[in-house]
């Protein structure tokens, strides 16, 4: 959403972040409910993450307007490129095995409630600050640390994203960093797209789903970085 608003329409990165969070909220709500109906949601994990994530997003959104626009853009671009490449090249399962062989997440697994509260706050803060709804970060944590299958990780992350992104959007709205007309139009279209995408995602295998997501993330990151360089 952010590259579309900055590259194609010419909004500032701050306006793009606020407006993107509104759309992310819609996407998370619509797609998350479809995954819920398919049984691909872990509600216990989601509740703890969403609770502190909302607080973190509200706090993070207050720092965006004072951050340099170029720095924000480059940060978002490199984050997306790295994640996208890993999903495309290695697939989901190889990434999981690689990380779990080199890092120990025993403490997190044994203290999941405390971990979810801390991670939720950090993800919420990053979401409110950078405009990324937080769904991707939460999904990666579920996949790599807790070993959730991709469908459950994505479904739970999407539903939680609706709350985290929504609270971040409120913070940006209070700062005048949301383009209401764009949010309404894009949000309506996003609801249709999210519903269609969620139905397809629930029907394809984990490896294909991971690589498709990787391509989308990588292209988005390249577009953002290209715009900043040019």
pLDDT digits (tens, 9 = 90+) for 171-183: 888 888 889 998 8
Between 192 and 11, residue with greater pLDDT:
192
> Which pLDDT score is estimated for 166?
84
Taking CA atoms, 22 is separated from 106, 123, 184, 189, in Å, by 36, 17, 9, 13
Residue ranges per structural domain of the chain: 14-225
> Which pLDDT score is estimated for 191?
92
Q: What SS3 class is residue 100? A: helix
Helices (H), 103-148: 106-110, 112-130, 135-144
Among 166, 158, 179, CA closest to 55: 166
pLDDT digits (tens, 9 = 90+) for 71-114: 666 777 787 788 788 778 766 666 666 666 666 677 777 777 78
Question: Lowest-confidence range among 9-23, 28-42, 70-84?
Answer: 70-84
pTM metric for this prediction: 0.70
User: Which residue's entry shows tokens 């819920």?
Assistant: 36
**For residue 39, what is the DSSP state?**
T
Q: What is the C-alpha end-to-end distance of the chain, expressed in Å?
A: 19
Tell me the C-alpha distance between 142 and 9, whole Å. 35
Mention every residue, 6+ apart, whose C-beta is less than 8 A from residue 89. none
Residues 85, 195 contacting (CB under 8 angstroms): no
> Which pLDDT score is estimated for 72?
63
């Amino acid at each position: 959403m952010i590259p579309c608003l900055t590259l194609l329409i010419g909004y500032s990165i701050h306006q793009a972040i606020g407006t993107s969070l509104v759309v992310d909220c819609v996407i998370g709500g619509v797609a998350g409910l479809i995954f819920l109906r398919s049984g691909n949601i872990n509600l216990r994990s989601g509740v703890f993450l969403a609770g502190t994530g909302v607080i973190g997003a509200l706090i993070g959104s207050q720092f965006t307007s004072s951050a340099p626009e170029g720095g924000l853009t480059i940060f978002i671009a490199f984050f997306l490129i790295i994640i996208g490449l890993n999903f495309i090249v290695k697939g989901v399962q190889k990434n999981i095995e690689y990380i779990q062989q080199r890092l120990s997440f025993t403490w997190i697994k044994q203290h999941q409630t405390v971990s979810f509260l801390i991670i939720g706050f950090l993800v919420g803060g990053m979401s409110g600050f950078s405009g990324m709804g937080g769904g991707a970060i939460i999904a990666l944590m579920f996949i790599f640390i807790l070993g959730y299958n991709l469908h459950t990780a994505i479904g739970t992350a999407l539903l939680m994203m609706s709350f985290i992104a929504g609270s971040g959007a409120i913070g940006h709205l209070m700062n005048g960093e949301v383009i209401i007309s764009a949010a309404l139009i894009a949000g309506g279209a996003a609801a249709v797209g999210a519903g269609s995408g969620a139905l397809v995602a629930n029907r394809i295998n984990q490896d294909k789903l991971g690589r498709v997501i990787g391509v989308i993330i990588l292209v988005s990151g390249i577009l953002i970085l290209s715009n900043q360089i040019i």
